[in-house]
Structure 1
Amino acid sequence: MILDAFNGVLILIFLIGVGFILGKLKWFDENSNTLLTRLVVYISLPTFMLSNLTTSFTKEQLIQWSNGFLIVIISILLTYSIGFIITKIFKVSPERKGVFRSLFGLSNTIFVGLPVNIAIFGEKALPFILIYYVVNTLSFWSIATYDIRCDCKDVKGSILSLDNIKNIFSPPLIAFIFSVVLIMLELSLPKFIIDGCKYLGSLTTPLSTLFIGSILSTMNFKELALNKDSLLIIIGRFILSPLITYAFLTLTNFPILMKQVFVVMSAMPVMNTSAIVARRYGGDYKFATAMNAVTLIVSFIFIPIYIFLFQYVFK
């Protein structure tokens, strides 16, 4: 059970290692890293979302589990808001605040969260995994992406200004909205389009992890050392976020499996796409990259704890 749960983390570490080696061999440079970020943001992630959502949800399921979406929204927004307060109290660098809050408040839901939850709870957990994934991803491509852009002063006016709204509607967010419309109208795309999107979407994890490995190969290992900001993110990801989610879930009568999945999903490593977006908009992508590696390693400590709690304590 524990080895199965670690499988998703080990795969990511392996892929990052490949990117690290290729970076050291000088296969990647500034132009190739830029290409990787564009491929993820504009091609692979939107197609990944479109193919997964439209084939995993029905209209009835979206309506039936709408309250689950609401709880996840509240939990994520509260965690993100606490991250905002922490950046003020602990005086996080202005050039890093948006990246910090993104890492603090949002989880790696698919590339780590999915295999870990499947290993713990089985295939029956998939619908609840996707509910958390949808809200987490929507939050990232609306709030967090805007926040990261603010780090590099690439933003004019408020988040609701016309210019910023245009930027918020990124390709992944547009793909999400389009998918929901298709589901609610009970429409299906031609099979060749869905299959093509699956192939393109499957590139998301390899491209993201190769990019992270490539950036790690250019960094001094002192940049991976734990400091105030990284310790705060570890506390936020693995302790504060699941506690907040659990507190809200105690107020509901949701199925126990849904509650368990939501708590585990809220306690995953940082969202690896944060490094891609930070690189795309000129944010502190090296810090985001370092935290991807650090929280993946730290998850080896917490995953057995989750398994113990949900198998033997919180039944």
Structure 2
Amino acid sequence: MRTTGPRAVRVKAPGKINVSLRVGTPREDGYHSVASVYLAVSLYEEITATATDDGAITVTVDGQGSLNLPMEEIPLDASNLAARAAALLAELSENSTGVHLNITKRVPIAGGMGGGSADAAAALLACDALWNSGFSRDELAKIAVDLGADVPFALIGGTAVGVGVGEQLTPAISKTPLHWVLVPSNFGLSTPAVYRTLDDLRLANGDVPPEIPEIDPQILTAMRSGDAHALADLLHNDLQAAALELAPELKDILHAGRDAGALAGIVSGSGPTVAFLAESEEHAATVDALLATAGLSTELVHGPAHGARIVSDYFA
């Protein structure tokens, strides 16, 4: 039986850029230890969760914005990460009902920006409100770990250091906005495939990474001060070489960004989205215009952005 509560809840949750991503050796469980600096950016996934009476969890997806999103690649069954989040919370909630999740995609799909994780975070927050579950944000973040390493960060947002497999978060101070130009691709990259390629490249090159990587503290200093020029020299992604191996055309995009005057460019996470850092909002607009003139699809974003947040609710 439903308790008094909203009939529908709309939540948005941010995508992220890995400003720094260091990857250790493979662990016994098959994952890699990482040390990452996450930055939530102003490109949001949005979910509307509507209570239903049939007990089922269903999913639909649409897209908005300028990004070319391959919607056919998104599963609409129980394997969808948002559906998995709703199912997990339903097991823990006394008042759960059926729910329909409509996802509005804005973050590049399989693009290294945590779009699926943002969907899961939004679904957790929406269903928590829909079912009056009463979990705190910290409790939801602990639940989120079971869904993937990036899901807790999408709940919390802002700037954070992630260790372990990325799920152990420590918030970092970063109040001055940093401005970026994103260049998405019309294809995705499999995160496991990128990690496997990194391992293969390291083996071929005789590289021996640390078992447990660490973050360069200078990165946090630059972000705390909002010094884009200092940060530009510190951007790093161990997965970038593997992403370029799998998608060599990303090299041309990185060159185009440098030619357009970006302070620096980096493949975000496992890619293939490329993020270019600008010194200001005006500079980002200039870089964006030059990349668009070169025929590239782009998106202007800034960060840090807030984590998952309820936008509206509707009471029956």
- Shorter-chain TM-score range: under 0.3
Larger radius of gyration: 2
Normalising by structure 1, we get a TM-score of: 0.24
Higher helix content, 1 or 2: 1
Q: With structure 2 as the length reference, what TM-score do the two structures score?
A: 0.24
Point out the structure with the larger strand share. Answer: 2
